[in-house]
Each structure stands twice: as C-alpha cells, then as structure tokens.
Amino acid sequence: MKHLVAIFGATIFGCLVAAIGFWYIQIRLTKVWVNQRLSQNIRRLERNSLPGDLVLSQSSTLQLEQLAEILDTTARHLRLGESFASALQAAVSSQHCAIQVLQNFSWACALGEAASEISKRLLKTAKTKDQQFVVKTLELAATGGVGGVMALERAAIVIRERATHIDDRFAQAAQALLSTRILSWTPLVVAGWLVVSSAPVRNYLILSPSGWVCLLLGIGLNLAGRKWMHAIITPSVVS
C-alpha cells in the first residue's frame, strides 16, 4: 500500500512539474516569437522605400501616448474574448482617437477587409514611423491567439519608452539652445562695452570701412549660428 501511495504521489508530482514546465516554456516561446516578429516588422519598415514626396516626421509625445493607450486597450478587449475588429473599434472610440490611420484601420476591419490588405494600403498614408509600426503591429495581432495580444502589449511598452527618450532629448536640446544663446550674446555684449569704453575701438569699428566689415561679418555669423543650432536641435513633430 505504501508503495502504491508513493508511486501515485510521484506520478502526480511528475505531471504537475510537466504541466508547469510546459506552461512556462510556452510563455517563453511566445515571447520570443513576438519579439522576433516585431523586430522583423521594424527592419521591414526601414527597408521599405517610400514615395519621393512623402517625408516622415517625428511623433509628438502626446501622439505616442495615444498610440500606446490604443494598443493597450485593444489588448485588454482581446483578453476579454472580443474579436479583433470589435476590440480595435472599442479602443479607438474610447480613446477618442484623432489619428486618421487608426480610424481608417478600424473602419476597414469593421467592413471585414483583411488586416494584411489594410496594412499594405495604410502604410503609404502614415505620417510617422511610429504610426507605421503600430499598423504593422495591428496586422500581427489580427492573426489571433496569445501572441497577438502580447505583440500589442510589447509594442505599447516600446512606444512609451520612445516617448520617454523624446522627452529627455527635448530637455537636452533646450539646455543646448540656452547655452548657445548665452554664448552668442557674450561677444555682442563685450563688443558693445569696448565701443562705449574705448575711443580707439569705437573709432575703428564705427569710422572705418574695415570696422563696419568686421561688425557686419560678426553679427551675420552670430545670427547664422543661432539659426543653424536651432534648426539641428528642433525636429519636425506631428502633433
């Protein structure tokens, strides 16, 4: 009897370990699959050629946050057992989405169009790379299953991380712009002080042609430097 109880207990324990191991391995394999598909989508978007007149701008942090919220809301509705079309429609309507690409995607899904065809068409109308990334993620999630839900959740995390990086970059750009303005005003202040306090400098800069050339050249280079610095640290942002 003791042997039977021991064998029965060992069998139950082995089955329990096998079930837990299978569950853990399935989750790990799903995560790996989702990460691979998302990385493939990113590389495919980078390789795809865009029309010559289409210039992709950078998303604003508000738009990135809205994209992430729509992905999270869609994932929650899918976990509740809703279809992909109804989940996306609920997410777009509840978040009051103003992004035209997602509105078109939701409307086309409601009409029963295939997600792959929708994605192929809407990628050409996306204004930012982040919108293209979300469109490809929605196409992946439309295949169904746990992998699709995890793809939406993982994409939302990636987009929120991008928003955080953009905020940090804007803060650094503001500091650089402030430093540039201070450094550009310094020579003008020094030149003004020399003109007021020194007669030889004043006579040279104001009464001689070479002095006027120096003044105009210095002021022109100063303004050009300020404009150039402002241009390189201020990205084109889609609100």
Q: Is the residue at 1 inside a domain? A: no
Q: Which domain holds residue 182?
A: 172-238
* Phi, psi values for residue 58, rounded to 5°: -95, 140
Q: Is residue 197 domain-shared with residue 156, that is, in the same domain?
A: no
pLDDT digits (tens, 9 = 90+) for 74-115: 888 888 888 888 888 888 888 788 888 888 898 988 888 888
Can you give the pTM of this predicted structure? 0.56
Kindly list the distances between the CA atom of residue 182 and the CA atoms of 6, 30, 86, 178, 189, in Å, as whole numbers in the listed order: 81, 53, 55, 6, 10
The pLDDT of residue 192 is: 84
Same domain, 131 and 178: no
Integer Cα distance of 239 and 230 in angstroms: 19
Percent of the chain with pLDDT over 90: 0
**Residue 2, in any domain of the structure:** no
Q: Which of 124, 145, 167 is at the close of a domain?
A: 167
- Which of 128, 148, 167 is the last residue in one of the domains? 167
Q: Indicate whether 44 and 142 sit together in one domain.
A: yes
Same domain, 150 and 196: no
The encoded tokens of residue 91 equal 């997410």
Q: Hey, CA dihedral for 7, 11, 14, 20, is it positive or negative?
A: negative
Residues 147, 35: Cα–Cα separation, whole Å: 10
Q: What pLDDT digit, counting tens, does each position of 26-47 carry?
A: 555 555 544 555 555 555 544 5
Which single residue is written with the structure tokens 């299953």? 145
